[in-house]
Structure formats: structure tokens, C-alpha cells
Structure 1
Amino acid sequence: MKVLKQMKPALLLVASLLLDATTADAQVEQKRINKMNSFIDKGVAAPAQNFTGTVWVNMNVKPDEGYDVNIGTVTFEPKARTNWHTHASGQILFVIEGTGYYQEKGKSIQLIQKGDVVKIPKNAVHWHGASHGSLMRHIALVPDYEKDKTEWLNPVSDEDYNRYQASAIKGSSKLGITETAHKNHEELWPNYVSKAAQTDPELIQVFDNFAFDQVIAHDKMETKIRVLIIMASTIGSQALTEYKMFVEAALNVGVTPVEIKEVLYQSVPYVGISKVIDFIGATNEIFVAKNIELPLESQATTSPATRMEKGMAKQKEIVGNRVNEMYKSSPKDLLHIQEYLSANCFGDYITRNGLDVKTREMVTLSFLIALGGTESQIKGHISGNIKVGNNRQTLINLMTQLLPYVGYPRTLNAINCLNEILPAK
């Protein structure tokens, strides 16, 4: 392939987000979004005669710039791929996002994902593209460009393209993954093919049968709520790769972009902007790739003049009259922290629209459980959950669904907090 794209360094994206995230000014926010969009601009549409599906290409380094090399970035939307083709000088692919396929003529299809490097021999007949359920972006390099000749051949048929997925599905049944686990996994990530199933089949068998069959069967928690609380826990765990998976899952099961962003925004006062900023950037990249226009509609309900009053009212709704005791018992040199809790944590964040208060409290509890070492706050938010109508069984269900993602120590600590605050009858 000879045409590709200009990508700005990810470090600049993170720095830009960090500098702009602390301001509420709408014009500055729009500039931040515009910057972000320019960094991940997908470029121009690839020529339809050489590609199947939606493919975007941009140049990084052109031969006419004085280098005997062609370097660029290609973005394949799910199921998109190149035709069969060859390069007289060979080609090197650096996968930088998502999951895709690569195949040389006469060989099996390989699953490729972020971090993989594919070295394509000279004149090898091959194709590459996105997997069934995931966008795939790679940087492609063609060396000795003056000597190179690219020959485009026939399109990759659906039958050939689908062979990997058919093989993977057949392989999952051989792994001993139950039909229920497979069905529940497919609900979240339709047609997703896991490379880990190839490299670590025993682990995938154990985990999928537990997380997607046994644990889900424990209760009747709505799928959207289950996905939201697990997504929230990945922020607390600082598990960015798994977070991106659950953003995709959330969109697949009908969670709105606003609901996803509200979980993300609410994590800031509990996890801290330093740990959340990369998750903001990752979310925006996913949204832009799916043509979700940014910024989203504002969900704020307070102003600088009302945040303290409305925040205090929301705090009392969730915490109760204990708020008054917290103010009275606070040393004078720490009174400002209580005021920050009311005006910032509750006034700026928890008063927002986009999520109802019961869901917000479940999400908050999920952050705290995943963080670890927050037992005092877990107890407070168990009480808060009860105050807004989430009963003991609801919280047991929450802790059960988080277990595969946060592990037993954090889950058992949360259960101890639950039994202390709301003992079983």
C-alpha cells in the first residue's frame, strides 16, 4: 500500500487534554476537542477498487520529501480490508490500535493487535484489515520506494475473510467454553475474536465460563447496569485496555455516550484527574471513530453561584443529616475540605444529569471497591446506596459482578463493609 496518514504524538494529546480539562469555559473546551479531533483525523477514503469496506488513509512520510520510503497510517473500520496485493520492496506493518487480520497466500489468517509488528516479504501475495468486531489502525512502511512496485489483485472474498472467525468459534467450543458464556460474551462484543484464546486457552476457558456464565447467572442485573459498574471498576483499577473494551460493550448494549461520559466525569473526584485523563482521551478516540459528535450536550445543573447550595442538598439526600455533624466536628483548619466535598464533589459532579442517583451511587461504590484501601469510604457509600434505594441484595449483586474484574481481596473487603453497615437478617 502506498497511501497512508499523519498522526500526531499521543503525548501531545494527553498534554493537551490535561491542560484543558480543568477549565469550564465552553470556548476552551471546544478548542480542546478540535485539537483532539485533528490528532486522530482518519484522513481520506481509500480507493474503493483496492479495498473492501470503509478504510481511511493518511500520509506520514512521502517519498517526494527526500526519503526513499513511504510511511503512513491506515484506519480500517470493522470488516474492512485490502485486496490481495504484493509489494516488490516488501512492507512492514505496526499495529497501533484495535484488532485485525493478516494473511499471506497459502497460509492461515493471523490475528494481529496493538503492539504487533508484521514483516511482509518482498512480492508476497497478502492482505490485511480489521477483524469482524473491531476497528484496526496500523502504520505501514514500504522501504526502497523508488524500486517498489505495488500490484493490486482480487478482493478478499467474504468466504475467505470469515474463515478466521469460523475457526475461532469452532475453537472456542473445543476449549470447553459453555454456550451460555459464549452467548453472553457475544452480547457485549459481537463477532469479537480473542488472541488470548490462542495464546492462553486454558485461562480463557476458566475465566469466560466463570465471568460470563456462572457469575452472570447469579442474579438478574440489567446488562446495561452491569456493564456500567464494570466499566467504572476498570477506571478505579487503572485498567485502560479493559476500560476501552467495556466502552465498546456499553455502546453495543445501548448505553448512551452521555451515560459513559458521566461515569467518566464522576470518577474524577474519587480517582483524581491524573489517573482519569488517559481514559478521557481513549473515550474520545472511540467516540470520534464511531462518528459521535463531541462535545456532548452539557449535563451540568449548577453554576458557580449555586454549586454549594445544590451540592449540599444532594449530599444530604445521599449522606443524610450526618453532613451537619461532619461540619460541626471538623477542625477549623480542615473546614475547607468539607466545603470542597459539598460544592465540588457533590455540587459539580453528582448533581449532574445523565445518570439517576441510584446508578451514580452504584458507580461510585464500584470506583471505591476497585481502588482498594478505601474501606471507610466504601462504608459511607454503602450507607448512601441504601439511602437512595439500593438494598443489600442489590449491593451483593454489584460485588458479585465486579469479582472477576477486581479480584477476591477487594471483593471480600467490600463484603465485610457491607456486613458491618447492613448485616444479613
Structure 2
Amino acid sequence: MKNRARCRRVHHRFGPTLCLLTALTLILEVGALFAADNRGERYEKGYRALQALNADGAGKVIEGLRDIAPEMSDFLVEFAYGDVFSRPALDPKSREMATIAALTALGNAAPQLKWHIAAALNIGVRPEQIIDIMYVSVVYHGFPAALNGIAAAREVFAEKGIRFTPVKREKIADKRALGLKTMDATSRGAGEKVVDSLKDIAPEMADFILEFSYADIFSRGVLSPGETELVAIAGMCAAGTQRPQLIVHIKSGLNVGLTKEQIIEVMDQMAVYAGFPAALNGISAAREAFASAAR
């Protein structure tokens, strides 16, 4: 009885203080959490951009890094999406198409490729456009890279319940003529020089370029000429091993209506997905292509 009375006296005397301390502790903890999430304008801008692409996936990306590399999630949101993706020189669809082309070319980022295929679908890129990006990738990065890209797309389409009728056009009567016409519309002479340069050593390679690359792939019409050149530029910049061809296609991009600002923006975006060296090398190639086109 005496112990109970003593406990009541202690509670009566210190209870309010203990309650106040508890409340202050909670306030401090909530304030710390708020401060951690209130990272500033760059973070807010980046997170909005990330959510606009994939609302469910945005949180999963950040939560997946919180226990092991929390600053990586900050870098991703602030730099990749706040600083780069949110820039106005390229619209979100073009950015996602360029990213899909780059990740397909790299061939070592299947989870990220699937994430961006899903994001592209979320913002209105059509399934057949995504598959045509893989077709373009065959030309510059080979069948294995393109087939792996198609496998990733298949998984995402199944997860989203997407069904579509693949584009398969009728047989081409004269592939060489169509290839030459398509090449002339984009390269305006540069492509023909490449073909002529092969006549003395690998004339059938010239046929492959005309009849497969330009007739079978580039003239399909699912991607516009500008979109075709944009994804070609992104993939070659990411790969980092095709400077002469990259220069040719940067000039082709200008010929079909891409602006210098759009092309440089593709290179800037490649800093996120292929690294700064690849982006800087792409900018160097663009500088040379712009100077050549001006002459």
C-alpha cells in the first residue's frame, strides 16, 4: 500500500513533465523526418518528374536504395530527373525513347530497361514504337542486343496486359531503290559516300546497308525520320565506339529536322545512362558534325 501511494505521488509530481518530454521527443523526430524529405527545389522537381513517368515505381526505386545507399537515391532524383530530365529541350516521350535506345545498346541494364519501357508506355509511347526502337538497334548494336530488348518489352507488355498487332508490312518490290531513296532523304550524300567506299573491298556490305538498314528498317514508318535518328544517336553515343557513324547520323538528324539543342540534350541525357565520358565524346562528335554541316 505504501509503495502504491508513493508511485501515485511520483506520477502526480512528474507526470506532466514526462508527458512534455515525450511530446518534445515526438516533435523532434517528426521534424527530423520532415527535414530529411524536404530536400529542396531540385529534389521536388526531380521527384515530380519521376512520379509523372511511373508513380508506383518512383517510390520503389527510392525505397530500394534507402537501406544501403540513400544518397544514391538523392543523386538519382536531384541530378538525373531534377537537373537533366526536367530540361525543356526534349519532351518526355523523346527522352524515354532515347533512354530505351541507350539501355538496349548497353545491354547490361535489363531492370532499368524494363522500368523505362513501362514509363514510356505510361506517357503515351506506343508499343509498336518501342519494338521499332529495337529494330533500329539491330543495325547499330546487333541482333543479341535487340533480341534482349524485345524480351524485356515482352515482359513489360505482359505485366501491363498490353496486346497490340505488330506492324508487318508487305514485301518490298525493289529494296535497293527504296534503300537509296531513304538514305538520300536523311544523309543527303553522306550515306552514298559510305556505300561507294566499300565497293573495292566489301561490296555486299554496301548492299546490306542499303537493303537491310535503310529499306527494311529505316523506311518502316512506325518511327518518324526524326525519331529514328534520335534513337540512333542515343544508342551510338551510349555505346561509345562508333564516332564516324555517330557524326554521320548527327548530320542526318539535322537534315530531318532535329535541332542542335535537341541533339546536345540527347548527349546530356547520356551522362545519366552511359556516363560522362560517353556524353562528352558524343558532344565532341556533335561539335564536329555541326561544323561540317555548316560548311
Q: TM-score range by the shorter chain?
A: 0.7 to 0.9
- Counterpart of 2:47 (choices 182, 185, 189) is 182
CA offsets 1:118-152 (integer angstroms, 9 cap, x no match): xxxxxxxxxxxxxxxxxxxxxxxxxxxxxxxxxxx
Deviation at 1:291, TM superposition (A): 2.2
Looking at CA atoms only, which structure, 1 or 2, has the larger radius of gyration? 2
Which structure dedicates a bigger proportion of its chain to strand?
1
- 1:206 matched to 2:75? The reply is yes
Looking at structure 1, the residues matched to 186 and 282 of structure 2 have their Cα atoms a distance apart, in angstroms, of: 19
Residue 91 (structure 1) aligns with: none
Given residue 208 of structure 1, which amino acid in structure 2 is its aligned partner? V
- Give 2:162's aligned residue: 292
- Report SS of the residue matched to 1:412: helix
Aligned to 1:123: none
- SS of 1:389's equivalent in the other structure is coil
**In the alignment, what sits opposite 1:247?**
117
- Matched-pair contact (CA < 8 Å) for 1:308–1:342: yes
TM-score, scaled relative to structure 2: 0.80
| Count of residue correspondences | 255
1:98-177 superposed matches below 5 A: 173=37
Give the direction of change, closer, same or farther, for the CA distance of 1:404–1:323 in structure 2 (3 Å limit): closer
Distance (Å, rounded) in 2 between the aligned partners of 1:263 and 1:246: 13
What residue identity is the alignment partner of 2:267? M
CA distance in 2, matches of 1:316, 1:172: 56
Q: Which has the higher contact order (CA 8 A, sep 6+)?
A: 2
What is the distance in 2 between the residues matched to 1:184 and 1:375? 32
C-alpha separation between the residues in 1 aligned to 2:67 and 2:280?
Answer: 32
- The aligned counterpart of 1:276 is 146
Distance 1:171 1:286, change over 3 A: farther
Distance 2:36 2:52 in 1: 16
* Aligned CA distance change for structure 1 residues 329 and 372 (closer, same or farther; 3 Å): closer
Q: Is the 8 A contact 2:89 2:261 kept in 1?
A: no
Find the aligned partners of 1:309 and 1:419 in 2 and give their Cα distance: 32
The equivalent residue for 2:270 is 402
The residue aligned with 1:335 is 203
CA distance in 2, matches of 1:171, 1:374: 46
Of stretches 226-235 and 304-313 in structure 1, the one that deviates more from structure 2 is 304-313
Q: Identity of aligned pairs, percent?
A: 22
Q: Judge conservation of contact 1:219–1:397 (CA < 8 Å) in 2.
A: no
Is the counterpart of residue 393 in structure 1 residue 257 in structure 2?
Answer: no
Contact 1:175 1:201 in 2 (8 A): no
**1:191 corresponds to:** 56
Note closer, same or farther for the CA distance 1:214–1:324 as it changes in structure 2 (3 Å cut). closer
- Distance change (3 Å), C-alpha of 1:171 and 1:199: farther
Determine the structure 2 residue equivalent to 1:231. Answer: 100
Gaps of 5+ in 2: 1-32
Map Cα deviations across residues 303-350 of structure 1 (whole Å, 9 max, x no partner).
Answer: 253222111110111111234433444343411111110000111101
Q: Is the 8 A contact 1:175 1:202 kept in 2?
A: no
2 CA distance for matches of 1:174 and 1:224? 29
The residue type equivalent to 2:47 in the other structure is H
Say whether the 8 Å CA contact 1:358–1:388 is kept in structure 2.
yes
1:401 CA drift (Å): 2.2
2:185 equivalent in structure 1: 317
The match for 1:381 among 238, 249, 264 is 249
CA distance in 2, matches of 1:346, 1:172: 52
The runs of 4+ residues in structure 1 deviating greater than 4 Å are 169-172, 174-177
8 Å contact from structure 1 (residues 299, 353) kept in 2: no
Cα deviation, 1:19-63, whole Å, max 9, x if unaligned, reads xxxxxxxxxxxxxxxxxxxxxxxxxxxxxxxxxxxxxxxxxxxxx
Change (3 A) 1:394 1:338: same
For 2:242 and 2:128, locate their aligned partners in 1 and report how far apart those are by CA, in whole Å.
Answer: 27
Gaps of 5+ in 1: 1-168
Measure the CA separation in 2 of the matches of 1:310 and 1:170: 61
